[in-house]
Amino acid sequence: METAASVQGPRLTSALLELGSEQVSGLTRERLIRYGRERAAEGAGPATLAIDISFIGTVLTHAAALHGLQVNTDAVRLARVALRRMDALGRGLERDRRPTEAELETLFARFRSNRGTALPLATIVKFAIATAMRLDEIMRIEWKDLDPRTRTILVADRKDPRKKDGNDQRVPLLDVTGYDALEILEQHRKQVSDKGRCFPYNGRSVGTAFRRACEEAGIIDLHFHDLRHEGTSRLFEAGLTIEQVPLVTGHKDWKMLKRYTQLRPENLYATLAKRR
């Protein structure tokens, strides 16, 4: 008999393993609500639980449509409504964490003093802020796609919620965030091969090294992806418009950029001066 564990899904926890022993016909509204409460007790946040419930709904729809199993797909919809009313399910809070200048200087000093790694972490962090690129995008760009004359580089298959592949974008390498993106690349080219990827490193290793450096420096709750937020915010602080910023960041929806326009008060005068 097919069970709820027949299809691979979210990371297995006690609640998921218990749910996986249920027959598909046993995934009633009451059972799914109980599962939601158990997942919340395990520490799953509203956004994580929303993903779980959505996945279960996909499994049931797949079972009904492709395998002809008699399942109650309404159970997922009703459980979702109930869990949302309990505040157990919903969207995650948007992060607005930005590193301070003091935190960045602390990290750069630590990077310089750490002789035990071959990763050019300071260069990668500065480039991340200068371009607002995601870590996987930084690790993917290639020297052959760099055009110093136009100060641009091609980012292949950029993340796009509307399509998975083919979203290539030629990104300008600006000098408006406090770091010159093209200069960073040109200096980095002298240290590595000018063939293949510009940053021929493992992205997971870079993320781990960044997280470890933050922990050792006592910097709380700073993720590598927050550097994308920092870079995007600096673009606005430099005076770029909401039409211009997506040419750098790749955002497809201007609504997603609204939270980046909440600029630091101490930078407001300089921002206004640049727009005069």
Number of domains in the chain: 2
- 260 has catalytic annotation: yes
* Spatial separation of the C-alpha atoms in residues 127 and 41, rounded to whole Å: 40
Q: What pLDDT is recorded for position 94? A: 63
- 228 has catalytic annotation: yes
- 134 has catalytic annotation: yes
Q: What pLDDT is recorded for position 6? A: 43
Q: What pLDDT is recorded for position 268? A: 55
Q: Which of 134, 158, 229, 234 is catalytic?
A: 134
- 159 has catalytic annotation: no
- State the residue range of the domain holding 133: 101-275
Residue ending a domain, among 32, 56, 85, is 85
Q: Which of 39, 98, 158, 260 is catalytic?
A: 260
The answer as to whether 92 is a domain residue is: no
* pLDDT tens, position by position, 32-79: 999 888 888 877 778 778 888 888 888 888 878 888 888 777 888 898
Query: Which CATH number belongs to the domain containing residue 159 in this structure?
Result: 1.10.443.10
Residue ending a domain, among 34, 56, 85, is 85
The answer as to whether 160 is a domain residue is: yes
Q: Which of 80, 140, 228, 234 is catalytic?
A: 228
The answer as to whether 91 is a domain residue is: no
What lies within 8 Å, CB to CB, of 181 at 6+ separation is 127, 130, 131, 151, 173, 174, 175
* pLDDT tens, position by position, 183-212: 999 999 999 988 999 999 999 999 999 999
Q: Tell me the pTM.
A: 0.66
197 and 264 co-located in one domain: yes
Residue ending a domain, among 85, 111, 132, is 85
41 and 137 co-located in one domain: no
3-state per-residue secondary structure call for the chain? CCEHHHCCCCCCCHHHHHHHCCEHHHCCHHHHHHHHHHHHHCCCCHHHHHHHHHHHHHHHHHHHHHHCCCCCCHHHHHHHHHHHHCCCCCCCCCCCCCCCHHHHHHHHHHHHHCCCCCCCHHHHHHHHHHHCCCHHHHHHCEHHHEECCCCEEEECCCCCCCCCCCCCEEEECCCCCCCCHHHHHHHHHCCCCCCCECCCCCHHHHHHHHHHHHHHCCCCCCCCCHHHHHHHHHHHHCCCCCCCCHHHHCCCCHHHHHHHHCCCHHHHHHHHHHHC
110 and 180 co-located in one domain: yes
166 and 209 co-located in one domain: yes
The answer as to whether 252 is a domain residue is: yes
Q: What pLDDT is recorded for position 160? A: 67
Residue pointed to by tokens 């995601």: 134
Q: What pLDDT is recorded for position 209? A: 94
Residues of the chain with pLDDT under 70: 1-13, 90-94, 160-166, 259-276
The answer as to whether 188 is a domain residue is: yes
